[in-house]
């Protein structure tokens, strides 16, 4: 459904030193530098897959999404989405994809979201009955019936973001590009958005490529992670493989007992527990040491939290 081969995007960016003289000089002679935002990315996403496209700020995630939606033209390499070359922006391609950006909006600011829905019906040339069915379905799924007739400017961020999702999915796209879709939302709305994306994916078999810095998004939505940094793919695999590669061991959690276990490397964790993360081959010796000191300890052994894994993965890359 999505294929990238050695995709490269180089930006030509003007540079100017600070100060008046530099400003005057830049009027006559402007200097440029080249930034390789995406540096030879290749991967494939199958139909119906939900993939997390992760990386630190400036890694090239959003640039890649913009190339995959045809907004940016690649400097070299190739990509195809749903059988189309995105840069050609063929109407059939635009009916197959959508791009939701958490910090940008397509809602008409002074009009109710229903007007944007109507506008998109015209722009995507949707059958009136199918459009109405889709609006009803999405409005119900996102619990928006009470707010869609109020001007967008009068809605809360969470209500607006949910309306954005409706507007972005009215044409029932087969490929969803979601760029930080839950940024700035409260926990309840975040959960609602995640549930919605999952339901849409399962109901319509849509392919989802998601960028997010929120690990709850990743844990709840994706089965596969593609990690990029400095414009190159550093990891591509399942969530479990990702944890094993970057998790650097396992996390032993003990309820209480920090004063006794502190010398063994345990630190305070959430809800009255303490924990230590150690390489896999040190788990058993450490468990024996814990049980020797606290024979009736309540102990659990897990993968480390995704935040820690990702922080470690980013740390290794940067």
Partner 1 sequence: MSHVLRALPDLMRVGVAGAVAYRAELVIWILTATLPLVMLAMWNAVALDGPVAGFDQDGLARYFVATLVIRQATSVWLVWEMNYEIRSGRLSTKLLRPLHPFWQYATSMLTVLPMRLVVLVPLVAALVWWRPTLLAWPGLTAVLLALASTALAWILTFLVQACFASLAFFLDKTDGLFGVWFGMWALLSGYVAPLATFPDWARPVVELLPFRGMLAVPVELLGGFLSPAEAMTDIALQLLWVGVFAVLTGAVWRRGIARYGAYGA
Return residues touching partner 1 (CB under 8 A).
11, 66, 69-73, 87, 89, 91-92, 94-95, 97-99, 101, 104, 106, 108, 110-111, 115, 118-125, 151
Least distance to partner 1, CB of residue 13, Å:
9
Residue whose CB is less far from partner 1, 126 or 310: 126
- Nearest-angstrom CA–CA distance, 287 and 300: 10
Residue whose CB is less far from partner 1, 42 or 106: 106
Residue whose CB is less far from partner 1, 4 or 100: 100
**Residue reference for tokens 């009068």:** 154
Least distance to partner 1, CB of residue 179, Å:
10
Task: Give the DSSP letter of residue 75.
Answer: S
Least distance to partner 1, CB of residue 275, Å:
41
Beta bridge partners of 158: none
Contacts of 207 (CB under 8 A, 6+ apart): 1, 2, 45, 46, 47, 48, 49, 50, 174, 175, 176
**Residue reference for tokens 């400095």:** 230
Least distance to partner 1, CB of residue 95, Å:
6
Least distance to partner 1, CB of residue 151, Å:
8
Residue whose CB is less far from partner 1, 119 or 294: 119
Residues 147-183 as b or e (16 or more Cβ within 10 Å = b): bbeeebeebeebbbbbbbbbbbbbbbbbbbbbbbbbb
Least distance to partner 1, CB of residue 101, Å:
7
**Residue reference for tokens 């300890």:** 297
Residue whose CB is less far from partner 1, 45 or 97: 97
Residue whose CB is less far from partner 1, 177 or 246: 177
Phi-psi map region of 265: left, alpha, beta (phi>0 left; psi -120 to 50 alpha): left
């Amino acid at each position: 459904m999505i294929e990238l081969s050695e995709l490269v995007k180089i930006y030509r960016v003007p540079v100017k030193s600070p100060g008046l003289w530099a400003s005057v000089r830049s009027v006559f002679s402007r200097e440029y530098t080249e930034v390789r935002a995406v540096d030879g990315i290749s991967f494939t996403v199958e139909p119906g897959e939900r993939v997390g496209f992760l990386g630190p700020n400036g890694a090239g995630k959003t640039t890649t999404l913009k190339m995959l939606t045809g907004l940016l033209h690649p400097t070299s390499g190739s990509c195809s989405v749903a059988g189309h070359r995105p840069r050609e922006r063929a109407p059939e391609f635009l009916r197959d994809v959508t791009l939701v950006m958490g910090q940008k909006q397509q809602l008409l600011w002074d009009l109710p979201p229903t007007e944007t829905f109507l506008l998109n019906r015209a722009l995507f040339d949707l059958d009136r009955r199918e459009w109405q069915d889709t609006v009803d379905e999405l409005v119900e799924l996102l619990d928006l019936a009470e707010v869609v007739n109020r001007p967008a400017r009068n809605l809360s961020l969470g209500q607006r973001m949910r309306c954005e999702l409706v507007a972005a999915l009215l044409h029932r796209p087969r490929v969803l590009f979601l760029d930080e879709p839950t940024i700035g939302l409260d926990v309840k709305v975040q959960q609602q958005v995640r549930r919605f994306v999952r339901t849409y994916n399962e109901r319509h078999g849509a392919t989802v490529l998601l960028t997010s810095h929120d690990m709850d998004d990743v844990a709840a939505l994706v089965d596969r992670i593609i990690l990029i940094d400095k414009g190159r793919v550093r990891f591509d695999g399942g969530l479990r493989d990702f944890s094993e590669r970057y998790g650097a061991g396992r996390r032993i959690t003990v309820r209480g007992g920090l004063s006794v276990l502190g010398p063994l490397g345990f630190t305070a964790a959430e809800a009255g527990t303490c924990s230590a993360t150690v390489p896999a081959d040190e788990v058993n010796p450490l468990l024996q040491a814990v049980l020797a000191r606290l024979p009736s300890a309540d102990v659990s052994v897990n993968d480390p939290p995704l935040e820690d894994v990702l922080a470690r993965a980013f740390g290794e890359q940067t």
